[in-house]
Each structure stands twice: as structure tokens, then as C-alpha cells.
Chains A and B, each alone.
Chain A
Amino acid sequence: MSDYNFAYLDEQTKRMIRRAILKGVAVPGYQVPFASREMPMPYGWGTGGVQVSAACLTPEDTLKVIDQGADDTTNAVSIRKFFEKTAEVATTEHTGEATVIQTRHRIPEEPLTEDQILVYQVPIPEPLRFLEPRETETRKMHALEEYGLMHVKLYEDISRHGEIATSYAYPVKVEGRYVMDPSPIPKFDNPKLEMAAIQLFGAGREQRIYAIPPYTQVVSLDFEDYPFVASKANHACALCGAGDTYLDEVIVDDEGGRMYVCSDTDYCSGRQDKGHRGEMAAPYMEVAE
């Protein structure tokens, strides 16, 4: 047994966070303030998500951590190791096997089930922040449902770029009431916010927790003549050939060469294991020693 309390935080802190989560689930999309703790990692590395995960984890859980869809990037690896050490829970890279998934900037391609919890790391929870810098005023606007300003942002997009150019952190209205920032997920993922799993959002520095319960209505804001479009790069994955996934653009040389690959690494490798091949896939799979 390690010298840490289970999942690092002390039990009273976890109770406090669970109370905030329950309130968030009861009022979908509402930002619940909570007493965020110092975590042994810098702000911006997912301190909010880590605290929410810590409050949700049980010893029987299987944890998956992704960063921009990938299981093997610094942020994902360090948070996974953190919980391996402090909670000694099982970890996995397979979406289907996980019971708690902590994510940064993506929703997994594989549809989640009612048995899973999706925890988001949120940098700035307030969707109105860049239009209205006063916290007192934004809280009032949420309370009184004054959301005209959100459309001013979309208006500015269209007037400047000819279309709604906001491509991530695209504002949504939850259950017809609160306007919410779905954290910086690409707007391609917005339609997936109506899902079977419970979704929890934690912002450590800003000390806010909010939630979307399963099967909650989530509508992306738009104009009647400029409807919401869940856009993605117009390519197929170069490794697994999938045409319906969110893609990362990878520059491969200094002559303009590039490839598009699934940002969800688990989904991509799962497809390759089943024999799907994209146009730049390796002719045979290397076997790890």
C-alpha cells in the first residue's frame, strides 16, 4: 500500500467535491464553485479534472486518460501514472474497458455507455468570459438567462470570416437553460455531448465544477441562416482509413507534405487491428518487444 490516501485527496475533500458534483448534476450546465486544492502538478495540466476523477474513483475502477485523443502524450501519461501510484487502480487505453475516462480536448470516437464517467479538464469554464470580463456580471447574466452576448461572438465570426469560425470550445445550451462552455473540444464533438455516460467538468484554477447528466439535451448555438456544422478536415485517416473521425494534421516533411490521422489513437489502432488500412499505413505491423 502506498503512503497516500486513496486517490491522493483526503476523504473530507473528496466529500466536498462530490457535493459539488451532485449539485452540478442536479442543475445541468450550471457552474458550481468548489474549494479547489493545490495538486502536485501545475495549473493548466488538468488539476480540475484530476480532482473530479479522484472524487469519483473507487478501487474497482479502470481508468483511461487521454490528451487530445491520444493515450501516449505527456499529460495523459503523467496523470495515468499519478493515479496508478496514488490509487493503485487498473488503467487501460481501451475506451470500452474503462469505467472512468479523464479527457483533455476530445470525446472518444467509440460511443460511451451508461456505466462510464467522462471527466473533462477545463481551462476556462465561463463561456461569456472574453466578451464580459466581470465575474459579477456574467453570474448575473447566467442567473437571468441573458445570453444575447453569446450570439454577438458568433455574429462577429460570420462578419469577419463569412462563417462561424469558432472551431473549438463552441458554446452550447444545456437542457434549454444554461449556456455552457464544453471545454476546448472540437465542435466536431459537440453532437456527441448528448450521450449515455455522465459527463463531469472540472476547472481547478477557476474553481468550478459542472456536469451534463446522461441523455441531457445539448444544443449548439447558431443562427437560423448560419446553422451549426460539426466540421472536420475533409480527408480519411491515413493510417486506418476511417472517414468519419476527427483528424489531426501532421506535417511530415519541409516540402508541404502532410498526413491526416485519427486524433483518437485507441480507436485508430483498434481499426488497424481489424485490418483497416489507410493510404499511408505501414505495409505490416511492427510487434513491440
Chain B
Amino acid sequence: MTQDNPLLSVRDIEKRYGARIGCTDVSFDLWPGEVMGIVGESGSGKSTLLNCLAGHIAPDGGRILFDTRAEGLKDTAQMSEPERRMLSRTDWAFVHQNARDGLRMSVSAGGNVGERLMAVGARHYGDIRDQATDWLGRVEIAADRIDDRPTAFSGGMQQRLQIARNLVTGPRLVFMDEPTGGLDVSVQARLLDLLRGLVREMGLSAIIVTHDLAVVRLLADRLMVMKSGRVVETGLTDQVLDDPQHAYTQLLVSSVLQV
């Protein structure tokens, strides 16, 4: 992996819904091994931005350059659909807020983890199963649950299963949309611990969208604060959270409940 190129380079991304702004004027570079957090209130455009970056919706303007293995920096919005779908099966991963959106609920845990392997051509049952078992272990799901369906799992387990399913092909860039949303705090803490371990261990780059400042404090190196579709403040996480400059960021930081 070259260090002279950013992994993802975003320039002036804009997405409009009719006359309304989804997000506009967003530019940033993400370097290999870096975790970036995007925070903001509901409707601030952070999910729209993430979906643009992950190729789920087409942006109306701007460029998204990804450092592909074969051809170097390439604009993913201009890519052909097969190419983009190939990326999203191999080098990218997307962790949904609701695990049900990212899992096949009628397929066993092992099958869920194995799907990405089979999608890139694995055709040896024993190998697929070994890798699935290994990954269930890494996300702290007992090996004897491998043949259970996700419907039999708790919310936290479903979320961990979704993470295993996404990371099994060794992606380089992970998009996460509120990965801890809807989980109770003790389960959140465990999940964050796990995520932090995996990100460090695998040297992943990640973009995490959340409204939970504690999540970015733990996971993110860098922070981007969004409001009304625009980025209002960026910087190192601790810097932004400890010394917020923009009025909205100050409001956001001071709104966190202290127990």
C-alpha cells in the first residue's frame, strides 16, 4: 500500500433532493489506517454523505477518488456498476445501523459470513466453514452458534455478526452507519471495544457516521461536524471535542448528558 496516496479522496460532493440540500461542498482525504467520524444532528446530511461515498446513491456533483488495488486513484462515481459492486464486495464494507438490513435473516450465521467468500469465488465448503468459525470467534460469538439463524441472536450479537460478515474478505475501507444505534449501553461498550480492536489489528480505514460523541471519542482519529448538509468544523477528535470552535459544535458537545 502506498503512503503517498490517500485511500479515499473526496472533492466537493453534493447531493440535492429537488431544491433541498442533502449535503454540499464536502471535501476531505482519508489516509490508510485512519478512522474518521462524522457527527451531526438528525437531518444534517451525514447519512446522505455516507451513502454517496459507498455508492448507494449517485452524487449530483463532485468527485470520489478511491485508491484501487489495480489502477490507483479512480473516481467511483464514474465507475461502471459491475466494478463498483465488485469493490463493495471486496475492498469495501458497509455496516448498517440496523443489523437486519445487512444480514440475511433466513440464512445461518455461517452462511452469512460465508456469503462474501462465495461471492468472490470460494468453492470449498470446509475452508469457508473454517473461516466462518474463525470470524465468529473474533467477534465473540460462540462456535456452536454457527448454524443458528440471526433471528435467534440478540441485537448485539446480530450487530457483531454483521461486522464479521463484512470483514471476512479483508476490506480496506469500512463504512459504518450508527453501528451502535439501538443497543443498550453495556452492549455498546463491548461492541466499541471489539471494533477498536479489529480496526487497530487489521489496519482498517473507516468512516463512522454517528450522533453519539462517545463513539467517535473512542474510535475516530479525526472528526467532521455537519450541520444542514455542510461541514462546519473538522479536526482531530480530541481537539474538536475539547475545544470546539463553531457555535453548533459547542452546542453539540455541551448537550451530552453527564451522569
Contacts and interface: CB of A to CB of B under 8 A. Distances in A.
Interface in B99-128: 104, 107-108, 110-111, 114-116, 118-121, 123-126, 128
B146 interface: yes
A177 to B, nearest CB: 14
Interface string A210-223: 00000000000001
B110 A148 contact: no
Interface stretch (A117-125, A155-163, A245-253): A155-163
Tell me if B's interface is mostly helix, strand, loop or mixed: helix
Interface residues of B, number: 23
A151 B111 CA distance: 9
Contact of B146 (A131, A158, A159): A159
B107 A144 contact: no
A151 B123 contact: yes
Interface string A14-49: 000000000000000000000000000000000000
Nearest to A150: B118
Contact of A155 (B116, B120, B121, B128): B128
B18 interface: no
Contact of B123 (A149, A158, A224): A224
A152 interface: yes
Given A155-B111, A225-B125, A144 B82 contact: yes
A146 interface: yes
Given A158-B125, A225-B124, A131 B104 contact: yes
A144 B86 CA distance: 10
Given A146-B119, A149-B119, A223-B124, A155 B114 contact: yes
Contacts of A155: 110-111, 114, 118, 125, 128
Given A148-B115, A148-B118, A149-B115, A156 B107 contact: yes
14 contacts: A144-B81, A146-B119, A152-B104, A152-B111, A152-B114, A155-B118, A156-B108, A156-B111, A159-B129, A223-B123, A223-B125, A224-B125, A225-B124, A226-B125
